[in-house]
Amino acid sequence: MSIRKKLLLSYIGMVLIPMFLFVLSVMMLIGIFLDDIKGINHYYQHDDQNKWVFSFAETFKKRDELFSGIKMVSKYAPERLMDKTFLQNVDKELRSNHSGLLVTKQNQTIFTSAFLKDAHLSKERLRMDKDRNRWETWIRVKDRFYAIQTQDYHFPDGTVGTVYLFTDTSPLAHFMPKFFPLVLLSLVLVISLTNGFLTYFVSRSIIKPIYALKKPQNRSRKGI
């Protein structure tokens, strides 16, 4: 095999082999942490959801769809955010996703989800980074973690308010620090070991024939 072909195969191997080994290592990690993932699914899963490894993602998708509807209402019909019946109906759907609403007007609370009362959350517990205008932030209450999304709205009379969406992300917050560092470590190890082995074997297969060619030349120079 020519040197050019060997180099071409080594470049292909450096791309395909790490990809294959990384996918394999992630699958192994999923198997190791399968009980944890099942626990997360059990916490978020509904009966009508498809049962797959990361089916809890459907819960967050539904939550985002509901909050997108709230954003549309706050933009085009903000007066509906004063309707407690409307807010209670939305909040009922959100609660099944371990989420809840907090609605304020002129810094005064006008609606608080029962979910937030159960979780002992209130507007005073918020730690919003106003300087960066972050769309989503996190707070921790004892051993529970909550993601917070916000949407500002304006009434025709010029008054302003904010809708806060709290989501209990505690199972994920406890799982991520265990799982993702191992995923990153496996990626680094796979790339390092694969490239190291391929570089060694390819360089050896190229250098060895060169030395083999040099030996007769050296002998001829010495007159052997």
pLDDT in tens, 71-103: 899 888 888 888 889 998 988 888 878 888 888
CB 190 within 8 Å of CB 22: yes
- Tell me the sheet residues that pair with 112: 102
Helix (H, G, I), strand (E, B) or coil at 168: strand
pLDDT of residue 218: 53
Output the six-digit token pair for 160. 């302003």
Domain 56-168 has CATH 3.30.310: no
Mean pLDDT of 154-180: 86
pLDDT of residue 13: 73
Per-residue pLDDT band for 182 (boundaries 50, 70, 90) equals: very high
124 CB-near residues (< 8 Å, 6+ apart):
none
Mean pLDDT of 158-172: 87
Tens of pLDDT, residue by residue over 9-65, are 767 777 788 888 899 998 898 888 888 888 887 777 655 445 656 667 777 888 888
Largest pairwise CA distance in the chain: 104
CB 119 within 8 Å of CB 133: no
pLDDT of residue 133: 44
pTM confidence score: 0.68
Residue 208 has pLDDT above 90, yes or no: no
- Tell me the sheet residues that pair with 137: 148
pLDDT of residue 181: 92
More confident residue, 93 or 198: 93
Per-residue pLDDT band for 184 (boundaries 50, 70, 90) equals: very high
Tens of pLDDT, residue by residue over 101-146, are 888 888 788 888 888 876 666 555 554 444 444 445 777 777 788 8
pLDDT of residue 2: 63
CB 195 within 8 Å of CB 19: no
Percentages helix, strand, coil for the chain (3-state, rounded to 5) are: 60, 15, 20
d(C-alpha 93, C-alpha 115), whole Å: 11
